[in-house]
Amino acid sequence: MRTAFYILSLPFQTAVTNGTTVSPEVQIGNEYDFEIYEVRASIYKLAVPTGPVLCSLKLSGGVNLTENPTDLFAIASQNIANYSGYPIKLAVGDIIESSTKVIAEITNNSGANVNVQIQLIGRKIFKS
């Protein structure tokens, strides 16, 4: 079995208007499973936030990867005020099967329009 470190990113700089929810998604390739070790985020904004940008992760089969929404400011790097959050590290990798979609439901309550990207850090597990 061959494996390779990989960063699986949802669409770069998904625009999220204040007070709205978007659901960008990315599909795991057909030729490999993906073992996720860490979740990171980047937030690009033009104004100082006054509230949270929340994110829930789920799989296309309906399985939730997060029980409750996570405030992305807690785990994200941001482009103003030299702020950097801490990524969510999983104690044990979670394997996502090939051809599965990962969906991020992002709700912006920050008081400003933002662009967000979610990165899943892990490894590809190629099928033999």
Tens of pLDDT, residue by residue over 12-44, are 678 899 999 999 999 999 999 999 998 888 888
Please determine, for residue 64, whether its predicted confidence score (pLDDT) is greater than 70: yes
| Confidence bin at 82 (pLDDT 50/70/90) | very low
Residue 47 pLDDT greater than 80, yes or no? no
Q: Does pLDDT of 117 surpass 90?
A: no
Q: Average pLDDT of 116-126?
A: 90
pLDDT attached to residue 40: 86
Over residues 38-61, the mean pLDDT reads 86
| Strand blocks (E) in the chain | 3-9, 14-16, 21-22, 25-27, 32-45, 53-59, 70-71, 76-78, 88-96, 101-108, 114-126
Taking the C-alpha atoms of residue 118 and residue 3, their distance in angstroms, rounded to an integer, is: 22
- Which band of pLDDT confidence, cut at 50, 70 and 90, is reported for residue 5? confident
- Domain 3-126 grouped into CATH 2.60.120: yes
pLDDT value of position 17: 93
- Residue 74: pLDDT over 70: yes
Which residues neighbour 57 within 8 Å (Cβ) at sequence distance 6 or greater? 39, 64, 65, 66, 102, 103, 104, 105, 118
pLDDT of residue 50: 87
